[in-house]
Amino acid sequence: MIPSFPSFGRLRAQFDWPLAGGTLAIIALGLVNLYSATRVAPKGLYQAQLLWLGVGVVLFVVVAAIDYRVYERLAPVIYAGCLLLLVAVLVAGRSVNGSRRWIGVGSATLQPSELMKIGVLLMLAKLLSAERQELRATGPRVAAIAQVVLLAPCALIYLQPDLGTATLVYLIGMSVVMFSPLSAGVKVASAVVAPLVALLRLAWRGLHGLKGYQKRRLITFLDPQSDPTGAGYHARQSVYAIGSGRWTGKGWLKGTQNQLQFLPEHWTDFPFAVWAEEWGFLGSLALLGCYLFLILWALGVSSTARDRFGQVLALGVAALVFWHVFINIGMVTGIVPVVGVTLPLVSYGGSSLLTMMIALGLLMNVSIRRYAY
């Protein structure tokens, strides 16, 4: 089927300007922060991010322009393609610091686990897009299929190894399942059984299934003083940076933890610490307020979508943004272990940025067509 492109006049009339404005606000704040964070980073990171952003904007527009019912039909193909990319990573991916997470694309690299988030969202939206009565009647079967849809990529991502992204994909997917019309008993069973089995398996093996650095991260999360100059160093320096910002911050480009390189990986995993040190508590509230607006707006789009697939898809995008923000902020403030989750539209990283722009393009897609019947 030929993709459906709305006319320019119709697109302009139905364009979701608040959604675009919220997205652009976070992108702008992210670029301001990244410029500061990369002044003492390897050369070319800021320019590379600008290039990825240009590609992301193009993807956003293209994804938003094609009627999302096309994606509903293609969901199994997209999901299967993402799974094949995860298998390809394990077979022939690039290994960096003991992890095999990337596929080389010319001089650039692609992280398929990021794209898998889109594949999971589309597949779950298709699976849960049936009418309420049908979902309740076939609840156990649908929940079982949903677990397979989630656990297959999570297992492949865990083997890379990337425990943080595997956990994130599962949380995003289960958020969609928990807010579906499935019966309460089915949702509780779905949310409890699989995690319980995983925890029992982990306890039985005595954490032997985890890599050394993963064990150290968990131990230092429980006891930050156990290795203050090793595995616990990142989290401690991050907390110092956030606290030193106080109410209004030290000023742009004047964060000492950032500029003197006491804060490791501050352009990828810890950009919020850079922001909090330079802009303080009030600046942090402004950034978090932008994320809150984006999440609430996505939920609003979900509640007014024209069909079940659009509702679930918009809900999934809200969950995607929420869990990224929650886990990343939790990492830098010490309330969750350091697991390498990026801050949406702020952290450096091409795959993460493109995935988020595609997700927001899908949200814009649902929003543009929610009043079209």
SS3 content of the chain, % helix, strand, coil (to 5): 70, 5, 25
Query: 218 pLDDT exceeds 60?
Result: no
Q: How confident is the model at residue 342 (pLDDT cuts 50, 70, 90)?
A: very high
Query: 99 pLDDT exceeds 90?
Result: no
Segment among 53-62, 89-98, 121-130, 264-273 with least mean pLDDT: 89-98
Domain ranges of the chain: 8-368
3-state secondary structure of 94: strand
Query: If phi over 0 gives left and psi between -120 and 50 gives alpha, with beta otherwise, what is residue 135?
Result: alpha
Q: How confident is the model at residue 139 (pLDDT cuts 50, 70, 90)?
A: low
Average pLDDT, the chain: 83
pLDDT in tens, 192-210: 666 656 655 554 554 555 5
Give dist(CA 241, CA 235) in Å, integer. Answer: 10
C-alpha angle 365-371-373 in degrees, rounded to nearest 5:
100
pLDDT in tens, 168-194: 999 999 899 888 766 555 566 666 666
Query: 234 pLDDT exceeds 60?
Result: yes
Report the pLDDT value the prediction gives residue 143, as an integer from 0 to 100. Answer: 82
Report the pLDDT value the prediction gives residue 264, as an integer from 0 to 100. Answer: 73
Report the pLDDT value the prediction gives residue 267, as an integer from 0 to 100. Answer: 86
**Residue 114 CB partners (closer than 8 Å, separation 6+):** 165, 351, 352, 354, 355
Q: Cα Rg for the chain, rounded, in angstroms?
A: 21
Q: Where are the beta strands (DSSP E) in 18-116?
A: 94-96, 99-105, 108-110
pLDDT in tens, 308-340: 999 999 999 999 999 999 999 998 888 888 888
Percent of the chain surpassing pLDDT 90:
49
